[in-house]
């Protein structure tokens, strides 16, 4: 039985983007960390302010372990970020399986990123007035990946899949998320409404004529209708610019 107030020295090594949560002097290297006992692997990782939903694999002395594993003096902990593009289920003993169909929910800081993800065809929920508890509840119920600029949100225990978006630039945010979750094979560009997330439906001109300007009617023949917000899309100059951007992205 452990006595209250005792401490143990644990050695950590965190890899890749998990270093973003560490102070500069602990990044990209092994470091010793004194922690009070009794202590589990999950508690030790969280003591470093690393959200568990960003961890895909943790090794204790070279062996995969669950978050409930008790730690001992001088244990070596290696912590790795999520591997959404790789199936390492036979190696890891602690985390949730990758979501092979990627669906997202974003917090209030990421409205422009939400539109870009919808442009690529991803089911992406966003409102600028979501409360944290609402994001957590929806993500758990619908198996969505939480994307956020709020590190504290990712520490919620009910979030199983989440990611702290590092960049503040909307274009770099999209590149970052696409690379992180290896989304390239899931692109279904221009299949969703960028405004409300509904799936678009192909329509003949006669079906949407009443929603269009005369100049649009004269110049375009192919239209896509959003049943959610009744918005109509066509392949104009804006479409061409977005198509070029997607080619650059891939």
β-strand partners of 40: 70
- Region 64-76: mean pLDDT is 94
Would the pLDDT of 96 be above 80?
A: no
Which band of pLDDT confidence, cut at 50, 70 and 90, is reported for residue 117? very high
Give percent of the chain with pLDDT exceeding 90: 78
Rounded to 5 degrees, φ, ψ at 36 are -75, 150
The pLDDT of residue 240 is: 85
Q: Looking at per-residue confidence, does 214 or 248 come out higher?
A: 214
| Interacting residues of 236 by C-beta distance below 8 A, sequence separation 6+ | 216, 219, 220
Q: Give the Cα separation of 57 and 53 in Å (integer).
A: 11
pLDDT of residue 249: 82
Instruction: Report pTM.
Output: 0.83
Q: Is the pLDDT of residue 103 over 80?
A: yes
For residue range 175-197, list pLDDT tens digits in order: 999 999 989 889 999 999 999 99
The band of 161, judged by pLDDT with boundaries at 50, 70 and 90, is: very high
The confidence score (pLDDT) of residue 95 equals 53
The beta-strand segments (E) located in the chain are 7-14, 31-36, 55-60, 63-64, 76-81, 104-106, 124-126, 145-148, 162-164, 201-203, 223-225, 232-233
Q: Cα dist. 181→30, 114, 123, 145, 175 in Å?
A: 27, 15, 14, 10, 10
């Amino acid at each position: 039985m452990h006595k209250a107030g005792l401490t143990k020295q644990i050695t950590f090594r965190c890899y890749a983007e998990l270093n973003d949560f560490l102070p500069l002097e602990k990044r990209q290297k092994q470091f010793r960390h004194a922690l009070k006992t009794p202590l589990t692997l999950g508690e030790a990782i969280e003591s470093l302010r690393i959200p568990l939903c960003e961890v895909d694999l943790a090794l204790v002395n070279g062996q995969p372990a669950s978050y409930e594993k008790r730690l001992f003096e001088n244990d070596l902990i290696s912590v790795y970020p999520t591997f959404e593009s790789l199936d390492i289920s036979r190696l890891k003993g602690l985390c949730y399986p990758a979501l092979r169909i990627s669906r997202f929910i974003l917090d209030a800081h990421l409205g422009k990123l939400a539109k870009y993800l919808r442009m690529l065809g991803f089911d992406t929920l966003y409102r600028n007035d979501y409360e944290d508890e609402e994001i957590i509840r929806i993500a758990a119920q619908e198996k969505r990946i939480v994307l956020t600029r709020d590190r504290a949100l990712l520490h919620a225990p009910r979030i199983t899949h989440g990611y702290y978006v590092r960049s503040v630039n909307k274009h770099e945010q999209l590149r970052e998320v696409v690379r992180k979750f290896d989304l390239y094979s899931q692109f279904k560009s221009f299949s969703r409404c960028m405004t409300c997330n509904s799936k678009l439906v192909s329509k003949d001109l006669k079906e949407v004529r009443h929603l269009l300007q005369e100049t649009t009617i004269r110049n375009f023949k192919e239209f896509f209708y959003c049943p959610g917000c009744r918005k109509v899309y066509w392949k104009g100059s804006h479409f061409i610019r977005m198509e070029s951007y997607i080619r650059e992205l891939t």
